[in-house]
Chain A
Amino acid sequence: MTRRPRRRALPLEGVRVVDMTWVWAGPCACMFLAMLGGEVIKVESRDRLDFFRRYVIWSLADAAPTELSTDGSMMFLSANLNKLGVTLTLGRPEGKDLLKQLIAVSDVVVENMRPGAMPRMGLGYEDLRRVNPAIIMLSSSARGGSGPESRYAGYAAVNHAIGGAAHITGYPDGPPGYALGDVDLMNATTSAFAIVAALRYRDLTGEGQFIDYSQSEGVTSLIGEVLLEYQMTGRIPGRKGNSDELMAPHSVYPCWGVDRWLAIAVETDDEFAALCGLMEMPELATDPRFATAAARKRNEAALDETIAGWTRQQDRDYVANRLCTAGVAAAPSRDAQDLFRDPHLRARDVFVEVEHPEGGSHDVVGLPWKMSDCEPAIRRAPRLGEHNDYVFRDVLGLEPAEIERLRREGVIE
């Protein structure tokens, strides 16, 4: 195994990743690796275009597009930042050979086809190991690569339901909630973590490995205490809205305007006194119904009604700031527009503007942390096959005439 030099600041500098994933969870996992400095090469084919390239539900250039472009989907552009893009026809033996050549000079392969699909194409872990013994391969699927339901299909919302999180989300008197793409992003983060761990293990030992990733299990691992509650009490945990087992007030309150909401959480008596002060009801802080955390929890319904009576007259963002300044945890329930305009997030450069040849500039969300002296440059997602020349010529060392032939014959599209 060759140790790669790491002179520059980004942690995954020098790590090459072959990204064979599509839709959302897999591409976002590879995007994290790319934003961390890895050279991520997304392998695509026109026969099997990424869902978000085919169904351009939300286009970049035009809110009501008359012509759909494979390069202009907002969802695609949000899940594939900082990557290089190549096109290969894997149905052709030469296409498969080129992929193997690429994997031979790479560190990581990530794919999220149904379990079994890669081995059937001769691209399973055992096959890839033969071309690169130290390769790290992560296969991500809805329910994992083994077991009786390994071939069941799944998207984020379904994995969320199976994993046990939907059942505990919602109002106590309402139906279970379900997730949207957020579960995919969570699984993307977890997958990226497992891959980085495997990279470190390879640094220690020289060994690569295969990672069988289950997206449903990813959901369950984030509700560990809920499984223990059932075992410890015999009770099946249900839906609890916004409430907390100890804190009160701990809810989301209506503010002035239409559908404007403010989350307020009080932990200590001092925080409660500060809240009562702002409400101009200082007597509540010493009212025996509310003077201690336990009393507040017992009389939560009455307390919530009093607070809502006050917040209804208040401007959401103004009162949120006043509460924060007074030392009380309070946050508007923010929608995407609120977030995009949030001066705090602006001050932290959370949104990054990138240029795109089709639609001008667009804004994306960067990495969810700041590493000192190590800010990655965010680059737009690749157009279909945009980096064929770089990858086949510079990485694999093919002659231009050879690339031209492969293109003509439809191996490189």
Chain B
Amino acid sequence: MAAAAFEGVKVVEFAGMVSGPYCGKLLADMGADVIKVEEPPDGDPARKRGPFPDDEPHPERSGLFLYLNTNKRSLALDTAKPGGREALARLIDWADVLIDNHAPVTLDGLGLGWEMLHERNHGLFLTSITPYGRTGPRAACKGTDMTGYHAGGLGTLLPPRSTDVSRAPVKAGGYPTGYHAGLTAALATAAALFGRREGDGCLIDVSEQESILSLVRGFVAQTVHQRVTWSRVPDRPPAFGRMECSDGYVVSHLVEDHHWRGLVELMGNPDWASGEEWKDYAYRCGHLFEIGHKIDDWARRQKKEDFHHKGAARGFAVGSVYNAEEVLNYRQYRARDYFVEIEHPEAGTLRHAGWPYKMSASPPRIQRPAPLLGENSAEVLRDLLGYSDDDYRRLRRSGAVWKEGPA
């Protein structure tokens, strides 16, 4: 009996940084056999990005790389060297899925564009992640995490409650576009695998811009029909959004009438919020601004965790703004065993974010940490693709294949 949802699925990840690797991780953590193809000498560009232990850059110790590449094997392959392109082609022939987040010209230039791949391996799914998708007037334009976030319409909403419009809109922290595009690609790829018919693959064209746009679909629909343009500027009633406390911030969102009653009760039923009229949602929508400063004044006298837990006890949605340290110590996550401890030969033992889905029959799990660059070159070529010892040595000599890591 299979132990994992994507057991038996063969994936080649020809991708770097965040989007393609996150897609590969999501599949690998559920049992797919993911071979990551990295270009020597540097490998995945994420290896050059922090965080690093004690801020000392080291290609095997990048936190970004370590998180995004669990459960994968690494083949270090230089397609410009003799035999390199052929090895990549043979690897893709082996695969069910190819995850590619290069510009399409990269594989085209190797004679391994979609048409050619489809002809060679009719069952292959090519999951292609690009800044703007593979068609349309901007298909060839470059993009980064930040440009994708703004192009997709989310930057325009941040930071919320901006009072100074001479300051630029911002992207969310981290690599939001890469993660969302990777997630989107994983859903599309998983669905394609589930619905696969005999010998019939397809091209899955994932646009980073559209991955972000998908997240703001409600605002777009509203804007188009109501001509209300959402932006980072307007103030919002304190019942929705950030409140400053004496020792940090909370975020709340009050929707139902009983949520509002819970807040009023927590504030000690002040006269200015206790009238009958405040029980009506429509009235609150129109008038909360009038008493917003009073709620804010009250909040400033609270400790954030008091507000958080007492608010929760009264049944309304409020939560502390947690930083990385607080998240790692968060009692709810610890109680749920959300974090996974992973030991890595170069980076030591670290606690990684886990998965938001606890699956009773086929839980995701860590079987191996992120690979060293080229760690699995030999086994991939010899065991997976059937290269003879001689052929393998020839590739090593030509510089097409690298092998690093423990001897």
A229 to B323, CA, bound (A): 12
What are the residues of chain A within 8 A of B398 when measuring CB–CB? none
Contact flags (1/0) for B204-238 with A, using CB distance below 8 Å? 11110111011111111111111111110100000
B30 within 8 A of A: yes
* CB-contacts of B126-175 with A (<8 A): 131-138, 141-160, 165-175
Contact flags (1/0) for B49-80 with A, using CB distance below 8 Å? 11111110000010110111000000000000
Q: Are B357 and A225 in contact (CB under 8 A)?
A: no
| Nearest CB in chain B to that of A60: its residue | B225
With contact pairs A261-B169, A329-B144, A344-B138 given, residues A336 and B219 touching in the complex (Cβ less than 8 Å): yes
Q: Are A177 and B158 in contact (CB under 8 A)?
A: yes
Task: Tell me how far the C-beta of B126 lies from the nearest C-beta in chain A, rounded to whole angstroms.
Answer: 9
Q: Are B219 and A180 in contact (CB under 8 A)?
A: yes
A374 to B149, CA, bound (A): 27
What are the residues of chain B within 8 A of A158 when measuring CB–CB? 251-253, 317-319
* CB-contacts of A182-222 with B (<8 A): 182, 185-187, 189-194, 196-201, 203-205, 207-218, 220-222
Contact of B5 among A58, A157, A198, A212 (CB under 8 A): A198
A11 within 8 A of B: yes
Contact flags (1/0) for A241-259 with B, using CB distance below 8 Å? 1101111001111100001
Closest 3 CB pairs of A and B: A11-B195, A168-B173, A228-B63
Q: Are B144 and A362 in contact (CB under 8 A)?
A: no
Q: Are A372 and B180 in contact (CB under 8 A)?
A: no
A297 within 8 A of B: no
Q: Are A348 and B135 in contact (CB under 8 A)?
A: yes
What are the residues of chain A within 8 A of B347 when measuring CB–CB? 232
Q: Are B323 and A164 in contact (CB under 8 A)?
A: yes
| Nearest CB in chain B to that of A208: its residue | B361
A78 to B215, CA, bound (A): 11
A63 to B155, CA, bound (A): 26
Among the listed stretches A87-95, A96-104, A147-155, A383-391, which one makes contact with chain B, having 4 or more residues with CB under 8 Å of it? A147-155
What are the residues of chain B within 8 A of A327 when measuring CB–CB? 142
Q: Are A242 and B190 in contact (CB under 8 A)?
A: no
Among the listed stretches A283-291, A363-371, A393-401, which one makes contact with chain B, having 4 or more residues with CB under 8 Å of it? A363-371
A47 within 8 A of B: no
* CB-contacts of A153-179 with B (<8 A): 153-171, 174-179
What are the residues of chain A within 8 A of B260 when measuring CB–CB? none
A404 to B404, CA, bound (A): 73
Task: Tell me how far the C-beta of B315 lies from the nearest C-beta in chain A, rounded to whole angstroms.
Answer: 6
What are the residues of chain A within 8 A of B359 when measuring CB–CB? 194, 197-198, 209-211
What are the residues of chain A within 8 A of B268 when measuring CB–CB? none
With contact pairs A10-B195, A194-B359, A368-B210 given, residues A329 and B131 touching in the complex (Cβ less than 8 Å): yes
Among the listed stretches B325-333, B375-383, B388-396, which one makes contact with chain A, having 4 or more residues with CB under 8 Å of it? B325-333
Q: Are A237 and B159 in contact (CB under 8 A)?
A: no
A364 to B209, CA, bound (A): 16
What are the residues of chain B within 8 A of A175 when measuring CB–CB? 159, 242, 244, 249
Q: Are A149 and B312 in contact (CB under 8 A)?
A: yes
Q: Are A233 and B317 in contact (CB under 8 A)?
A: no
Among the listed stretches B81-89, B181-189, B290-298, which one makes contact with chain A, having 4 or more residues with CB under 8 Å of it? B181-189
Q: Are A153 and B317 in contact (CB under 8 A)?
A: yes
A-B contact pairs, 26 of them (CB 8 A): A51-B255, A149-B332, A151-B312, A158-B318, A164-B323, A169-B170, A169-B172, A180-B230, A201-B362, A216-B356, A220-B353, A221-B355, A224-B67, A228-B51, A244-B145, A247-B144, A261-B155, A324-B142, A329-B141, A344-B136, A365-B213, A368-B207, A369-B185, A369-B205, A370-B134, A372-B205
A324 to B147, CA, bound (A): 11
**Sample of 12 further A-B pairs with CB below 8 A, known A166-B321, A200-B5:** A11-B191, A74-B218, A138-B357, A144-B358, A164-B323, A193-B186, A214-B336, A241-B168, A328-B142, A329-B142, A345-B209, A368-B210
Q: Are A166 and B192 in contact (CB under 8 A)?
A: no
A113 within 8 A of B: no
B316 within 8 A of A: yes
Q: Are A200 and B6 in contact (CB under 8 A)?
A: yes
B287 within 8 A of A: no
Query: Residues of B within 8 Å of A, CB-based: how many?
Result: 158
Q: Are B147 and A330 in contact (CB under 8 A)?
A: yes
A32 within 8 A of B: yes
A109 within 8 A of B: no
| Nearest CB in chain A to that of B249: its residue | A176
Q: Are B338 and A171 in contact (CB under 8 A)?
A: no
B351 within 8 A of A: yes
Task: Tell me how far the C-beta of B258 lies from the nearest C-beta in chain A, rounded to whole angstroms.
Answer: 10
With contact pairs A200-B193, A209-B361 given, residues A170 and B170 touching in the complex (Cβ less than 8 Å): yes
Q: Are B203 and A372 in contact (CB under 8 A)?
A: yes
Q: Are A11 and B332 in contact (CB under 8 A)?
A: no
A224 to B322, CA, bound (A): 14
A36 within 8 A of B: yes
| Nearest CB in chain A to that of B55: its residue | A233
Q: Are B51 and A148 in contact (CB under 8 A)?
A: no
Task: Tell me how far the C-beta of B327 lies from the nearest C-beta in chain A, rounded to whole angstroms.
Answer: 4
What are the residues of chain B within 8 A of A345 when measuring CB–CB? 136, 209-210, 213
A178 to B195, CA, bound (A): 37
Q: Are A222 and B176 in contact (CB under 8 A)?
A: yes
What are the residues of chain B within 8 A of A60 when measuring CB–CB? 225
